């Protein structure tokens, strides 16, 4: 599976069980990437990301568990480490700010190889960085 996450500059994900931020340009980018494919998410994520034209949305309390090899999985509030062996790729949408956080990405990105970095303008964020990682140590981007 390919996991998608939104992180701040310090790999923060949530604060008091709420997403730190959001941006409709990230939603549009996720829709573009997942068009014609299945995108798994939990019920919390469904409230924001559950309606995407051309994307098969699948909802589960533990969305990485049923996801298959070719599926995408949007993760906002779940630990990734228990599924690290099944994760083939990781897409990070990184906010250009540091927000308060009490839940952080639990993967060590130094164990992953960054293959692509792309910046784009968001609606509510001046710069959003899209980072693509595959399994393997190092950083090529």
**Is there a domain that residue 141 lies in?**
no
Backbone angles phi, psi at 89, to 5 degrees: -150, 160
**Is there a domain that residue 102 lies in?**
yes
Q: What is the mean pLDDT of residues 44-59?
A: 95
**Is there a domain that residue 140 lies in?**
no
pLDDT of 140 over the 70 cut: no
Could you tell me the two tokens for 29? Answer: 């980018």
Could you tell me the two tokens for 10? Answer: 């310090």
pLDDT of 141 over the 90 cut: no
First to last CA, the chain: 21
When divided into structural domains, the chain yields a total of 1
pLDDT of 88 over the 70 cut: yes
Backbone angles phi, psi at 62, to 5 degrees: -130, 80
Sign of the four-CA dihedral 104, 106, 112, 116: negative
**Is there a domain that residue 51 lies in?**
yes
CA distances from 95 to 22, 50, 65, 66, 79 (A): 9, 21, 27, 28, 20
pTM of the model: 0.93
Q: Strand ranges (DSSP E) for 9-111?
A: 12-15, 18-19, 38-41, 56-59, 72-74, 89-95, 103-104
CATH classification at residue 100: 3.40.430.10
Over residues 94-103, the pLDDT tens digits come to 999 999 999 9
């Amino acid at each position: 599976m390919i996991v998608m996450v939104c992180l701040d500059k310090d790999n923060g994900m949530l604060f008091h069980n709420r997403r730190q931020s959001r941006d409709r340009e990230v939603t549009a980018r996720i829709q573009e990437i997942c068009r014609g494919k299945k995108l798994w998410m939990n019920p919390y994520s469904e409230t924001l990301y559950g309606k995407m034209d051309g994307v098969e949305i699948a909802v589960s309390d533990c969305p990485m568990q049923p996801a298959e090899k070719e599926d995408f999985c949007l993760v906002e509030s779940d630990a990734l480490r228990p599924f690290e062996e099944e994760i083939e790729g990781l897409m990070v949408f990184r906010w250009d700010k540091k927000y308060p956080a009490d839940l952080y990405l639990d993967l060590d990105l130094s164990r992953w190889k960054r293959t692509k970095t792309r910046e784009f303008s968001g609606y509510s964020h001046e710069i959003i960085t899209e980072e693509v990682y595959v399994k393997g140590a190092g950083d090529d981007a």
